Amino acid sequence: MAQLNGPTKSTDSTTTPPWTPSSWTSKPIKQDAIYEDRKSVEKSLSKLERLPPIVTPTEIEKLKASLRDVALGKAFLLQGGDCAELFDYCEENAIESKIKLLLQMSLVLIWGSNKPVVRIARMAGQYAKPRSSPTELVDGVETPSFRGDILNGFEVGERALDPARLVSAYFHSASTLNFIRGSIASGIADLHRPLDWGLGHVRDPELQTKYSNIVSSITDSLRFMRTVGADTAGQLQTVDLFTSHEGLLLEYEQRLTRLLRNPTKSLVSRASGTTAEDTKSYYNTSAHFLWVGDRTRQIDGAHIEYFRGIANPIGVKIGPTTSPSDLLALLRTLNPSVEVGKITLITRYGASKVRSLLPTHIKTVEGSEYARSVVWQCDPMHGNTRSTSTGIKTRQFTDILSELQETLAIHKEEGSYLGGVHLELTGEAVTECTGGSEGLNEDDLSLNYTSFCDPRLNEKQALELAFLIAGHYRGEEKQL
């Protein structure tokens, strides 16, 4: 089994070698998948190459335009979903609950920030997970680690890497996105439909009154718009919901990378008379948005090499091990043309470290040619994972809130704009993170702990976080 982790290293180069969808294979790689049956792998990869794109360049370019607005401070980005999506989550109720939660959260954020909200789901493809070790102990026996449904199964007897799962991941992604599109087209996002806010879990009477007032204000605003006919254009009946996942398994991503007509370039080319080939770009058609993780962002590594060539907007996880020089090297490698909104910097430090690390990273970017070109996004989840005395992984709502609070304050101090949040959440009533208004404690974790990887906010905790962010932007920072 290949080594899963390694230090980040910077390299300087005066020339940039040509890029192809497969040029990453010439670079050292972390989190690699080593299969026993290479013939079966090639069969699955060949199948993927023949299958149609899951998303289209038009959709991807639409997201890029929205993220430009986020980078310029004109919109806010809400990104959320499961830590590790399972094939079993490709089911009507599971998908619908996450859609509804993201819609409710975005509605609260629109009310709070008075800005459009860009919605990206960690869904329809988040099937691969990086692991710190290739093996783990299960009932005292060393066994290969579960690395996501695209690679192997969670049950001990299913831990061998299975090439057939590559094709299965494609079809589960396509089916999930198909249901998302169908649900939105059928009116699930119509803001006139009654919304079940379910605020009964809020134990503090003052806080419950505050949240209820927000809901009433939103409802009254929608009712007024309908009364005066301001919603006749149909904008309140539908929304854009984009998909995302960590681009971890490069063999899979390569096969879904296609040279396709760029809709924005094509408009220009018709006026300038350039050839059709000049209007094409390489798109990763497995998702609208992909990110590179904290474990795989080596400047000279395979993942950065792959990511530098795709036209999609991309995210980069930035953490305690990211040096200022590496940060600038990443931006210059991934976005040499300084395209506004192309790169989302997803900061994830931990509540106790954000104050000492984030200001330097902000100064590094804002003092360079990339000032005001990136989307700053806070991931308050990954730096705040801990284990209970009995070995259960959890996160405290207070830690998540604290990192978000510090991040908002620091961006304000530095004169930059925190453009969004990146959350691991589910629309189900799980008990995986402690705290929040329903008062979950460690003894409650066993009630409904269903994550096969990291702990997620449940629907009540996630919605409460949206209320708190909205309160911040409404000037009620004491609540945050």
DSSP per-residue letters across 89-134: G-SHHHHHHHHHHHHHHHHHHHHHHSS-EEEEEE-SS------SSS
The angle subtended at Cα 139 by Cα 136 and Cα 144, nearest 5°, is 25
Tokens of 373: 């070109």
CA 35 to chain CA centroid, Å, is 28
- Dihedral of CA atoms 117, 245, 424, 35 in degrees, nearest 10, equals 180
Contact indicator for 73, 341 with CB cutoff of 8 Å: no
Angle 459-473/92-113 helices, nearest 10 degrees? 10
Task: Classify residue 107 by burial, with Cβ atoms within 10 Å: 0-12, 13-18, 19+.
Answer: buried
317 is in an annotated binding site: yes
| 243: amino acid identity, one letter | T
Q: What is the spatial distance between Cα 87 and Cα 121, in angstroms, rounded to a whole number?
A: 16
| 152: amino acid identity, one letter | N
Q: What is the spatial distance between Cα 33 and Cα 36, in angstroms, rounded to a whole number?
A: 10
454 is in an annotated binding site: yes
| 74: amino acid identity, one letter | K
Please tell me the chain's helix, strand, coil percentages from 3-state DSSP, rounded to the nearest 5: 40, 15, 40
Task: Classify residue 387 by burial, with Cβ atoms within 10 Å: 0-12, 13-18, 19+.
Answer: exposed
122 is in an annotated binding site: yes
Tokens of 143: 């066994």
The binding site for Mn(2+) comprises: 83, 382, 424, 454
The binding site comprises: 83, 122, 317, 348, 382, 424, 454
The binding site for phosphoenolpyruvate comprises: 122, 317, 348
